[in-house]
Amino acid sequence: MKKIILFDGVCNFCNSSVQFIIKRDPKQHFQFAAIQSDVGQQLLVNYQIPDNVDSLLLIEADDYYIESTAALRIARSLHRLYPLCGLFLWIPRFIRDPIYRWIAKNRYRWFGQQAQCMIPRPEDQRRFITSQQAAKHLPLGNEGKR
């Protein structure tokens, strides 16, 4: 099963981050869905993810990860030197997450936002999860992680 990244589809920074990940994920470990999409909303319900998660989320098997943990776990699966970012997972969340939250809180002001969710390029379309695929991603347990 591939890992799923849910992202803020109207955030310019988040959309740029998705394009960054696609370019550095030649083995295609990740699939994507905007949080605002029907698929994203379905996955939020399926995994019982809190309503306040609105920027980036990683779903792996039966678990989900948010904030800095999601970002660093994503980096661990990318090409070249990016897996070294996983070393920052050793830093406690109470130090990492406030930095993540500060960036997430200011993302619209610093990078802007779009009126609607991004439309993937035709060559990337298959990386974006459909409603039928989302139905297959039902968690076995409710052990979501942060």
Measured CA to CA, the distance from residue 146 to residue 67 in angstroms comes to 7
> Under a CB-based contact definition with an 8 Å cutoff, are residues 41 and 132 in contact?
no
Least confident window among 2-6, 19-23, 44-48, 137-141: 137-141
In this prediction, residue 132 carries a pLDDT of: 62
Amino acid at 61: A
pLDDT, tens digit, 9 for 90 and up, residues 14-54 = 888 999 999 999 889 999 999 989 999 999 998 999 888 88
Measured CA to CA, the distance from residue 29 to residue 36 in angstroms comes to 22
Q: What is the pTM of this model?
A: 0.84
pLDDT, tens digit, 9 for 90 and up, residues 55-70 = 899 999 889 999 999 9
> Under a CB-based contact definition with an 8 Å cutoff, are residues 56 and 8 in contact?
yes
Three-state DSSP class for 73?
Answer: helix
Segment (H or E) for 44: helix 38-46
